[in-house]
């Protein structure tokens, strides 16, 4: 039937071509292909044999504009909120990418939005857990704790650790040189911004004012733009399509931030907190130094107990001088389905499972490093009633199988 229709179309087109002036003939639509689309058994027209990844649409669009050296990095802070999905809808419609610096407490409440951000190819950055200045900037260890807390929440949702970090309120007046150095040594990339949209200067900044602030900002070849998708920023959502159109009219393309992007960082200054406590060398050696391995290309460690398997990334485990795997007890056991509690009076850890007697770990059985207790993986598994059957090694993965 399709081929008959095609033949009729060709005949009609030929007749029209004879009656039209030459300058109008080129405006006629081309005839459809004689080869029909593949159909399923039900008669529905099929798409490609392999469905494209959802986020490839805006990335493909960007590849078509690679010739432009002028780049804008749109960044959104304080989400996710109910507004984040609206922002994502606009970005999807416009086929551009952005970077979302998320709060841990909000990510925990809306994991489905975090998954959508990741699935659609946008970048996720760490904006601490609760955004409270009085908790974050008096000593680095408190800032670090919130970074790690949020990092773990995002990892559990997406399977990846955010390496990008943005300080609530920006680094000026908050970060000293030590904050910058410790985060860099730990493997993180800290980003401030070039362009402040002003959408958080006060409550309810109108969309017209947000756009005006953008347009008044000096243009550079590469710019990081500060926006917000947290609660109360409906006007930012309203202004977003116009912001995108403005930069496109100036010849800019949009990209997501990566750890390799040259960071935008404010100079150290302002009213830094007085009597700030610096971390000790011992704290740095047990927290900062191992953390950098999380973002290295070292092999992960897969541990399978029966049909349950989990993985520790490089930096989440270490190898002793004798060649034994040493693991953090809580992270290891809770990922395998157990529950770990700590008794501060007795300095003991209790591991419990359903239908199993609790296992008590006493101080002589483990070592304390920072906020975690560590012990050899083999010892931990054997005390839990499991026997290692096989150990294998690879360039990207080390594997331990137990029963």
pLDDT bucket at 57, cuts 50 / 70 / 90: low
Q: Are residues 222 and 116 in the same domain?
A: yes
For residue 11, what are the domain limits?
1-51
% of the chain at pLDDT higher than 90: 65
Read off the pLDDT of each residue in 146-166 and give the average, rounded to a whole number. Answer: 95
Q: Is residue 277 part of a domain?
A: no
Dist. CA 87–CA 93, nearest whole Å: 10
Predicted pLDDT at 67: 58
Predicted pLDDT at 66: 54
Q: Is residue 347 part of a domain?
A: yes
The whole-chain average pLDDT of the chain stands at 85
Which distant-in-sequence residues (6+ apart) come within 8 Å of 254 by Cβ? Answer: 62, 71, 72, 73, 74, 96, 97, 98, 244, 247
Q: Is residue 122 part of a domain?
A: yes
Read off the pLDDT of each residue in 322-342 and give the average, rounded to a whole number. Answer: 90
pLDDT at residue 195 is higher than 90: yes
State if pTM tops 0.75: no
pLDDT at residue 45 is higher than 50: no
pLDDT at residue 393 is higher than 90: no
Read off the pLDDT of each residue in 152-177 and give the average, rounded to a whole number. Answer: 95
Q: Is residue 382 part of a domain?
A: yes
Closest alpha carbon to 104 in 122, 84, 131: 131
- Which range, 11-25, 63-77, 83-97, has the best average confidence (pLDDT)? 83-97
Q: Are residues 326 and 207 in the same domain?
A: no
Q: 61 vs 262, which has greater pLDDT?
A: 262
Domain boundary among 239, 254, 269: 254
pLDDT at residue 54 is higher than 50: no
Read off the pLDDT of each residue in 243-255 and give the average, rounded to a whole number. Answer: 98
**C-alpha distance from residue 186 to each of 62, 178, 280, 348 (Å):** 31, 12, 15, 30
Predicted pLDDT at 17: 46
Q: 38 vs 158, which has greater pLDDT?
A: 158
Q: Are residues 5 and 77 in the same domain?
A: no
Q: Are residues 132 and 242 in the same domain?
A: yes
Q: Are residues 310 and 224 in the same domain?
A: no
Which distant-in-sequence residues (6+ apart) come within 8 Å of 250 by Cβ? Answer: 70, 219
Q: For the residues of 224-284, what is the DSSP string, one character each?
A: EEEEE-STT-HHHHHHHHHHHHHHHHTT-EE----TTSPPP-PPS-S-PPTTPBPPPHHHH
Give the CATH number for residue 106: 3.20.20.370
Q: Are residues 341 and 355 in the same domain?
A: yes
pLDDT at residue 402 is higher than 90: yes
Dist. CA 334–CA 136, nearest whole Å: 28
Read off the pLDDT of each residue in 186-198 and give the average, rounded to a whole number. Answer: 97
Domain boundary among 35, 51, 67: 51
Predicted pLDDT at 110: 97
pLDDT at residue 64 is higher than 70: no
Q: Is residue 274 part of a domain?
A: no
Q: Is residue 283 part of a domain?
A: no
Predicted pLDDT at 3: 41
pLDDT bucket at 296, cuts 50 / 70 / 90: confident
pLDDT bucket at 143, cuts 50 / 70 / 90: very high
pLDDT tens per residue, range 90-112: 999 999 999 999 999 999 999 99
Q: Are residues 109 and 232 in the same domain?
A: yes
Q: 39 vs 397, which has greater pLDDT?
A: 397
Predicted pLDDT at 395: 80
Q: 238 vs 296, which has greater pLDDT?
A: 238
Q: Are residues 350 and 240 in the same domain?
A: no
Total domains in the fold of the chain = 3
Q: Are residues 10 and 87 in the same domain?
A: no
Q: Are residues 27 and 66 in the same domain?
A: no
Q: Is residue 36 part of a domain?
A: yes
Q: Are residues 194 and 81 in the same domain?
A: yes
Predicted pLDDT at 48: 31
Q: 395 vs 103, which has greater pLDDT?
A: 103
DSSP 375: E
Q: Is residue 361 part of a domain?
A: yes
Closest alpha carbon to 136 in 273, 260, 235: 273
pLDDT bucket at 60, cuts 50 / 70 / 90: low
Q: Are residues 47 and 66 in the same domain?
A: no
């Amino acid at each position: 039937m399709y081929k008959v229709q095609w033949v009729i179309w060709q005949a009609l087109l030929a007749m029209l071509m004879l009656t039209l002036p030459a300058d109008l003939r080129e405006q006629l639509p081309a005839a459809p292909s004689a080869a029909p689309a593949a159909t399923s058994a039900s008669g529905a027209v099929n798409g490609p044999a392999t469905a494209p990844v959802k986020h490839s649409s805006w990335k493909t669009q960007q590849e078509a504009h690679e010739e432009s050296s002028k780049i804008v990095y749109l960044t959104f802070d304080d989400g996710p909120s109910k507004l984040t999905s609206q922002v994502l809808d606009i970005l999807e419609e416009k086929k551009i990418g952005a970077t979302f610096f998320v709060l841990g407490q909000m990510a925990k409440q809306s994991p489905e939005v975090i998954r959508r951000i990741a699935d659609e190819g946008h970048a996720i950055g760490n904006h601490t857990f609760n955004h409270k200045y009085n908790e974050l900037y008096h000593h680095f260890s408190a800032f670090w704790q919130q970074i790690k807390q949020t990092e773990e929440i995002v990892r559990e949702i997406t399977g990846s650790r955010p390496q990008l970090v943005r300080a609530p309120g920006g680094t000026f007046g908050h970060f000293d040189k030590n904050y910058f150095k410790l985060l860099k040594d730990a493997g993180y990339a800290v980003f401030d911004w070039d362009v402040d949209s002003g959408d958080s200067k006060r409550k309810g900044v109108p969309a017209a004012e947000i756009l005006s602030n953008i347009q008044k900002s000096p243009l550079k070849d590469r710019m990081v733009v500060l926006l917000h998708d947290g609660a109360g920023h409906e006007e930012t959502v309203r202004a977003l399509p116009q912001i995108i159109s403005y930069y496109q009219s100036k010849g800019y393309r949009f990209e997501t931030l990566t750890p390799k992007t040259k960071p935008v960082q404010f100079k150290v200054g302002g009213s830094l907190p007085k009597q700030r406590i610096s971390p000790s060398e011992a704290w740095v050696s047990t927290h900062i130094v191992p953390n950098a391995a999380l973002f290295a290309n070292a092999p992960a460690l897969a541990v399978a107990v029966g049909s349950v398997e989990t993985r520790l990334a490089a930096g989440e485990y270490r190898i002793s001088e004798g060649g034994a795997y040493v693991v953090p007890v809580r992270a290891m056991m809770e990922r395998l389905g157990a529950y770990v509690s700590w008794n501060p009076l007795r300095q003991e850890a209790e591991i419990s499972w359903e239908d199993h007697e609790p296992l008590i770990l006493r101080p002589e059985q483990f070592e304390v490093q920072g906020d975690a207790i560590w012990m050899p993986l083999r010892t931990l598994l054997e005390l839990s009633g499991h026997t290692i059957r096989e150990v294998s090694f690879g360039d990207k993965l080390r594997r331990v199988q137990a029963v």
